[in-house]
Amino acid sequence: MVDVGAKEVTLRLARAETFVQMQPDTLALILNRQVAKGDVFEVARLAGIMATKRTADLIPLCHPLGIDGVDVTLAAVGSTTVRIEATVRVHGRTGVEMEALTAVTVASLTIYDMCKAVDRTMTLGPARLLEKRGGKSGHFEAPNTNPPQH
């Protein structure tokens, strides 16, 4: 693991996104809260938050962090796509990119799990970092934030 002890504590922020593609009928079930396992967006949101806090247990060389805040949002994009975005904040010596990417990925896996009985054709991704702030390397923002075209 990289020694970050000499780094300055700063506010670090990372935003990531991913997408879940599905059949239009599947998205309609989600939006109408008719999926047998429950409210898909709320369960996936909670899964993303929980995953953020467990990133160091999942990614071998990640530092355990005392996360300051996590926001996970899910929204329908058209009739076949769910967009998931996570924003993670911490005052620390290392960034939270992996935590944000873990949040959106686990949230997407949760959607798949909750809806697989009605749609096994769902696809997940791409997942990517949208923005990173804080630390020595400064501010990064992805050049294009448009959803994938399917």
**pTM of the predicted protein model:** 0.93
Positive or negative: CA dihedral 18, 21, 22, 24: positive
Kindly list the catalytic residues. Answer: 113
pLDDT, tens digit (0-9, with 9 covering 90-100), for 57-104? 999 999 999 999 999 999 999 999 999 999 999 999 888 999 999 999
> Is 95 within a domain?
yes
Parent domain of 76: 20-134
> Is residue 149 included in any domain, yes or no?
no
Residue 146 lies in a domain: no
In a domain, 13, yes or no: no
Count: domains in the chain: 1
Q: Which residues of 100-137 are buried (b: 16+ CB within 10 A; e: fewer)?
A: bbbbbbbbbbbbbebbeebbeebebeebebbbbbbbee
Q: Judge whether 143 lies within some domain.
A: no
* CATH number where 27 lies: 3.30.70.640
> Rg of the chain's alpha carbons, rounded to an integer?
16
